[in-house]
Chains A and B, each alone.
Chain A
């Protein structure tokens, strides 16, 4: 776990949010999640589909709409607590200005009948009513050029742009008000590798040029996460199972689930063909009634009877590793060593 050397831009304490279904059932998709992203730092969130990583992204912006509901915990952006604020107030003063969110299919949000500049005007006018259009245009042009997008894009319709270009346009627009924190949920997974690289470069540019201060990046592509973010957090069934630096998580993970996830990485590098990918058997638990003990127990190779007794807490070892498992770090490592042989 990284020590908070820099000021925390985004701090989340024990955040819990739930979905309420038509039948009044509660599904806790984000369960007591705590995290902290420092100034100039980035955090990656990894996990299988359905582990709650997209819900967490949506929860972090502090603006909830049904069926998602806020339950408990707090979100602090640059020293300002946004949980408990009036939702309208959050929408007007926090979204886009303090924190911005790019959903998975962001590029499909562009209105096909309007030029890109119109879309940007909407964003700016919603937060700063009465800004002259000339000023907005100048600002947009400046920002686009800074990020390597041609200014001519502003006058185009979305259909005239390629998928990668649309995605970059949406990202540039979402940070037009220079928010402190950007939350990007799979911003590149619908694109091919070349466009993906351009999108990633732009997001890293945003950090380098100081347009945003901190980044939360969500994807299930672990090699991508390893290359983009400083820290990685692994989620399973709505809970954090391990947090650490990118190197720790990818090459030296402690938790059995993280270990299994890393075993499924495919990269075109020497040695890939000699290893057999590890598939995790079974499916994640149903969050309507999650298991009382460790949520990964049913799929874990090293499961013990005591795993299923009581909920397992996230704990920090003496060596500074943070993970959620009852087996001590040293014992887990011995198990992994044993398996290698």
Chain B
């Protein structure tokens, strides 16, 4: 890496994931290199099956790498033990696609938020302070803690649950936030709300958001740098304006063509 290493928050060299072996061998992510700058908004765009979720899982440390290395803040990431993993997850958190599947349905909302406080501040906090922190987090995402306490996650709507996920992130204040299709299960109106909140949160706690999405419009709206992924490889990357408005690769152009737009004719003959 030529750049000053403290500018780069997360980077990878030859990151590869192979599932199965023999005739079933599938290369999900194929020798991918990347370096994400601190404070930048990054999007990884790809269709279903392009390996973007596998890459996200590796970035989060949820699956092991078949080959290659990931560097976190310039140092080789070492998450072999559970203790090291917990330490890493203080810095790297995620929001997933399906808010209904993201919560343990047997645990109340307070417990979810208290877990976050415990991960960040340890166990020795007075109760009043914990309540104040939960209030603040809920206020940030336009929820009322008084109405949430003693409720279960499934009592909330999809948009509210996704906001609760953001409240979690607010409490944890990670350096990196991986958002894996954060808005694909909610409708267009709530989508704007969620994206606004994520962007506010970014300026509030100075994190680096990484969006994993198939929605190229969303990637264009939020991000500074866009990576286009096809068959486990990055086919194109660069600033959002360059990639979306002046795409070089045929694959990027095809992805763009497939999206219905407002000011351009949607050409259906290319199917």
Contacts and interface: CB of A to CB of B under 8 A. Distances in A.
A193 interface: yes
Contacts of B157: 283
A69 interface: no
Interface string A79-105: 000000000000000000000000000
B258 A266 contact: no
B133 interface: no
A269 B264 contact: yes
Given A277-B196, A279-B193, A279-B196, A226 B258 contact: no
A277 B192 contact: yes
A200 B153 CA distance: 36
User: From DSSP, what is the main secondary structure of chain B's interface residues?
Assistant: helix
Interface stretch (A17-25, A29-37, A149-157, A215-223): A215-223
A49 B192 contact: no
Interface stretch (B53-61, B86-94, B213-221): B213-221
A264 B216 CA distance: 15
Interface string A254-293: 0000001101111111101100111111010000000000
A198 to B, nearest CB: 5
Contacts of A279: 189-190, 192-193, 196
Q: How large is the interface on B (under 10, 10 to 19, 20 to 34, 35 or more residues)?
A: 35 or more
Contacts of A228: 260
A339 interface: no
A226 B191 contact: no
B174 to A, nearest CB: 24
A192 B271 CA distance: 13
A270 B256 CA distance: 12
Given A270-B245, A277-B196, A194 B258 contact: yes
B100 to A, nearest CB: 13
B263 interface: yes
Interface in A206-230: 220-224, 226-228
A152 to B, nearest CB: 19
B262 interface: yes
B195 A277 contact: yes
A197 B221 contact: no
Interface string B251-269: 0001110111111101010
A312 interface: no
A21 to B, nearest CB: 17
Contacts of A198: 271
Interface string B217-243: 111110000000000000000001100
A197 B216 contact: no
B259 A223 contact: yes
A200 B217 contact: no
A48 interface: yes
A278 to B, nearest CB: 6
A268 B260 contact: no
A97 to B, nearest CB: 28
A201 interface: yes
B220 A273 contact: yes
B63 interface: no
Interface string B19-43: 0000000000000000000000000
A120 interface: no
A265 B48 CA distance: 23
7 contacts: A48-B188, A49-B186, A193-B216, A193-B255, A226-B260, A265-B188, A276-B196
Interface of A: 48-49, 192-194, 196-198, 200-201, 204, 220-224, 226-228, 250-251, 260-261, 263-270, 272-273, 276-281, 283
